[in-house]
């Protein structure tokens, strides 16, 4: 029987540099970095941070353009409840929630899996929710030139829940619209679709 082997790929030089820094930070906080529970923590955190910010290595526009198809569909396409995990750039604490994305095609559609992929590509960076919302919208608008794009993100921020104001039940909602979604009727249809459970 073969033993379990975990395979991870991280940049060795970056991992070592980050681990040295985290080791110092943990020590500066008053902990004993040589004790068993913390001995490998600097390296683990170094790898975790590289994963949590791997969006810098991705090109969201290229991701979308890799799966464009000609299609004469003029109705709203909605991908909702996309899980979002990101890092607040102000305190380096997580914020997480759901993104709802819609567009109205103008001769081109994109493979549905690409929408969550670009959400992830932008989210896995140091972010603020407002910028993240706009980046997703702008990327879809540039790649597809649709009749309109709508993005809404609902997220909880650990910087508000674990520290500072410490409001555990607060949710932040941001939205960004282009084209047809700037019209009240279309925007209301989108909000209705992402708010309701379809049977």
| Residues β-bridged to residue 109 | 69
40 shares its domain with 67: no
User: Is 91 marked as binding a ligand?
Assistant: yes
47 shares its domain with 64: no
- Look up the pTM and report it: 0.91
191 shares its domain with 158: yes
What is the CATH number for 27? 1.10.286.10
CA distance 120 to 85: 8
161 shares its domain with 188: yes
User: Is 139 marked as binding a ligand?
Assistant: no
- Write out the residue range of the structural domain in which residue 27 sits: 12-54
Residue-wise pLDDT for 81-124, tens only, equals 999 999 999 999 999 999 999 999 999 999 999 999 999 999 99
Catalytic residues, which ones?
Answer: 88-91, 129, 157, 159
User: Is 100 marked as binding a ligand?
Assistant: no
Residue 2 has pLDDT above 90, yes or no: no
What is the CATH number for 85? 3.30.1130.10
For the residues of 138-178, what is the DSSP string, one character each? HHHHHHH--SEEEEEEEEEEHHHHTSTT--TT--EEEEEEE
Q: What confidence score (pLDDT) does residue 169 get?
A: 81
How many domains does the structure of the chain reveal?
2
Q: Say which residue the tokens 């070592």 belong to.
A: 16
Residue 21 has pLDDT above 60, yes or no: yes
Q: For residue 152, with 0-12 CB atoms within 10 Å meaning exposed, 13-18 middle and 19 or more buried, which class applies?
A: buried
Residue 43 within any structural domain of the chain: yes
83 shares its domain with 172: yes
Sheet holding 94-104, edge to edge: 126-127, 77-88, 94-104, 148-157, 172-179
CA distance 173 to 185: 20
* Residue 199: band (very low, low, confident or very high) from pLDDT cuts 50, 70, 90: very low
Q: What confidence score (pLDDT) does residue 167 get?
A: 80
- Report the mean per-residue pLDDT for the chain: 94
Residue 27 has pLDDT above 70, yes or no: yes
Of 163 and 58, the structure prediction assigns the larger pLDDT to 58
* Residue 78: band (very low, low, confident or very high) from pLDDT cuts 50, 70, 90: very high
42 shares its domain with 82: no
Instruction: Tell me the pairing of strands 172-179 and 126-127.
Output: unpaired
């Amino acid at each position: 029987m073969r033993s379990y082997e975990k395979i991870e790929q991280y940049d060795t030089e970056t991992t070592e540099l980050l681990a040295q820094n985290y080791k110092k930070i943990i020590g500066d906080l008053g902990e004993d970095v040589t004790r068993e529970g913390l001995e490998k923590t600097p390296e683990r955190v170094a790898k975790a941070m590289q994963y949590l910010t791997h969006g810098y290595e991705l090109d969201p526009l290229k991701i979308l353009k890799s799966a464009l198809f000609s299609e004469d569909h003029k109705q709203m396409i909605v991908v909702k409840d996309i899980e979002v995990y990101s890092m607040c750039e102000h305190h380096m604490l997580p914020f997480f929630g759901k993104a709802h994305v819609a567009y109205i095609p103008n001769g081109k559609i994109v493979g549905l899996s690409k929408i969550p992929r670009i959400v992830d590509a932008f989210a896995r960076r140091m972010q603020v929710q407002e910028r993240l919302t706009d980046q997703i919208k702008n990327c879809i608008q540039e790649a597809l030139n649709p009749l309109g794009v709508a993005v809404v993100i609902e997220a909880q921020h650990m910087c508000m829940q674990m520290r500072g104001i410490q409001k555990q039940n607060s949710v932040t909602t941001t939205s960004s619209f282009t084209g047809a979604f700037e019209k009240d009727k279309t925007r209301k249809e989108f909000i209705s679709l992402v708010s309701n459970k379809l049977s």
